[in-house]
Amino acid sequence: MPFVSKFHALAVAAGALSIAAPIGAFAQTDYPTKPIEIIAPAAPGGDTDFNARTMSHYLQEELGVSLPVINVPGAGGSLGGRRVLSAEPDGYTTLFYHGAVQVGSASGMTEFTWKDFELGAIAGQETGTVLVVQADAPWQTLDELMEDAKANPGSIDLTANIGATTYLIAKQLEAAGAQFNLVDVGGASGRLTAVLGGNVDVSQNPYAQVRDYLETGELRALATLTDEPIEPLADVPTARSQGYEVGFQYNYFFLFPKDTPQEVVEKFGAAVEAVVQNPDYVDAIQKQYAQDAMALTGEAAAARLEELDAIIGQVDLK
């Protein structure tokens, strides 16, 4: 998977550090002393919600307090983002989201970027997104789909959430010469319902979400939207390997209100690093979403998000 190998050593080193030194060694503070609210700007049932709740469960073991997940979907994540931006910078409210924060700011959908927060930690990476159609769809390959979309502009529906990572993919496809009719049906769970029900022609969905439907033959994969093939889908080529500069693999991360004390941010980040070393956590995310555990904090985390910003910046999203 893209970027995992590049950042794997950093992630392992961070995890090793968290094991070698107790979490308390990162900060001379009694934080936390009460529950920490995790704001997830996505509806229940998708990959963001799953990752937030799974991380919350294991963070409770590390931090000794509950971390309730509050779903605040809407407006491309801006509703949840604003809620955290305006919260007290005391470490008891954090945003858990992903690359949609970056795409949203680049597209003008949101008025803030990840740099308007304190970066707590990168807490995972999606396995990858798959471009899928129903089994009886007329397109057998991505080339066939692209040729049709070029010949009949606007006649093929494609799921895309304005200001989200799916919107970035749609604009990349547009830059490659295709013209789709973009349909916003909500998050990952809404996109799955739409394509299974035949309400859209083409959808972008996390691999693990469509895995069973690909196995039963209800859906067909035309391409993976990653740099490297997704291991369980080795026979499905990436869009890039088919000659299209299309793809984006985002990270999940925690953001705190600006001016949250650094010792609080560091202690929370150390807890995330400890969680990704927990075998039970590793097993849980692998079984449910085929994800590999990883975490980055501090400069390494910021460098990773800067790299993703550069990819986003290659496409005009406005």
The average pLDDT across 56-72 equals 97
Query: Do 119 and 138 share a domain, yes or no?
Result: no
Q: Which of 120-124, 163-167, 194-198, 264-268 has the weakest average pLDDT?
A: 163-167
Domain boundary among 219, 242, 265: 242
Domain count along the chain: 2
For 62, the 3-state DSSP assignment is: helix
The pLDDT of residue 45 is above 90: no
pLDDT in tens, 242-292: 999 999 999 999 999 999 999 999 999 999 999 999 999 999 999 988 899
Cα 152 to chain centroid distance, Å, stands at 31
CATH of residue 172's domain is 3.40.190.10
Q: CB of 299 within 8 A of CB of 120?
A: no
Domain membership flag for residue 136? yes
Query: Do 223 and 256 share a domain, yes or no?
Result: no
Domain boundary among 223, 242, 261: 242
Report the alpha-carbon distance of residue 76 to residue 140 in Å, rounded: 31
The pLDDT of residue 14 is above 70: no
Query: Do 18 and 121 share a domain, yes or no?
Result: yes
Query: Do 122 and 254 share a domain, yes or no?
Result: yes
Query: Do 275 and 228 share a domain, yes or no?
Result: no
Report the alpha-carbon distance of residue 124 to residue 5 in Å, rounded: 13
Q: Which of 47-61, 97-111, 143-157 has the weakest average pLDDT?
A: 97-111
Domain membership flag for residue 273? yes
CATH of residue 296's domain is 3.40.190.150
Domain membership flag for residue 102? yes
Domain boundary among 222, 242, 262: 242
Query: Do 134 and 119 share a domain, yes or no?
Result: no
**What confidence score (pLDDT) does residue 10 get?**
44
pLDDT in tens, 115-138: 999 999 999 999 999 999 999 999
The average pLDDT across 221-241 equals 93
Query: Do 237 and 177 share a domain, yes or no?
Result: yes
Query: Do 259 and 208 share a domain, yes or no?
Result: no
Report the alpha-carbon distance of residue 271 to residue 154 in Å, rounded: 47
Query: What confidence category does residue 3 fall into, taking pLDDT thresholds of 50, 70 and 90?
Result: very low
The average pLDDT across 155-182 equals 94
| Structural domain boundaries, residue 237 | 129-242
Query: Do 99 and 76 share a domain, yes or no?
Result: yes
Report the alpha-carbon distance of residue 29 to residue 4 in Å, rounded: 33
Query: Do 174 and 288 share a domain, yes or no?
Result: no
Domain membership flag for residue 258? yes
Q: CB of 209 within 8 A of CB of 188?
A: yes
